[in-house]
Structure formats: C-alpha cells, structure tokens
Amino acid sequence: MAINRKALFWGTGVFIVLYIIHLLLLPLLVGTEQGGKASDSTLYGIHQFLGLMTCLVPGFVAARLAKQSGFLHGFLVGGLGTFVTAAAAVLWSLLTGAKFPSLGTFPFWLLVNGFLSAFAGLVASNLKDEEAEGRVV
C-alpha cells in the first residue's frame, strides 16, 4: 500500500484553498448580518457547512486521485491540511502581532478533520468500486 504523493499534494492544496475561502467569506457574512437569533443560527449553519466542506472535498479529491486506499489518503489530507493551516495561523500571529491561536484543541481538530476527510475518501473509493462494477447509473 503506497502513498500517492500527488494525491496528498492536491488534496492538501484543496483543503488550504477552501479554508482560506472560509476565512474570507465568514467576515463578509458577519458584516451583512442584521442581528437577531434567526440570523445567528443561519450564520452558524453556514459556518459549519463551510467547515464540513473544507474537510470532505479534499478527502474526496485525494482518494479519487490516488485510486486506492481512499480512507488513508483522506485521513492524511485532513491531518496535513489541519497542520498546515494551524502552522500558518501561528506564523501569522507571530509576524503581525495578531492574537495567538489557541492550540489546546489542536489534537482534537487534527483527528476530527482527519476522520471527516477519511470518510469522504472512503465514499470516493466506494463510488469508484461501484463504477467499475457498473452499478452506478
């Protein structure tokens, strides 16, 4: 079982791009918020959806590119993406004097994001298997 470096590279790249989009889009949504509990819950839902897509899409991409071991490639992409974005946040805070990110929950998010991406990688692998057998319409 070999690790496909191209799949890891592209999957991690997708993770980073989606994470940056998430970071840039959320303040715009907060700026348009009119207030009230309904808008708070809508904003929270959008935030959670963006976070979920930031983990699922890269795992799916990595598994499709790897064409094998979708769970493993997805998990590695989720972990690598989380590590790189956390390291970038630490570097950003050191360079700009911004608030230092809380790293107390880093191991938790490393596992959660890894397993979310691994789930998407597993789905991608199963879709590939079904396509090969001709079961997908």
Which helix (H) or strand (E) segment is 103 a member of?
none
Q: How confident is the model at residue 137 (pLDDT cuts 50, 70, 90)?
A: low
Q: Is 32 helix (H, G, I), strand (E, B) or coil?
A: coil
pLDDT band at 133 (very low <50, low <70, confident <90, very high): confident
Domain map of the chain by residue range? 5-133
Q: Which two tokens stand for residue 1?
A: 């079982």
- Percent of the chain at pLDDT above 70? 88
- With 70 as the cut, is the pLDDT of residue 35 above it? no
Q: Is the pTM of this model over 0.95?
A: no
Nearest to 61 by CA among 19, 16, 11: 11
Above 90 in pLDDT, residue 87?
yes
pLDDT class of 27 with cuts at 50, 70, 90: confident
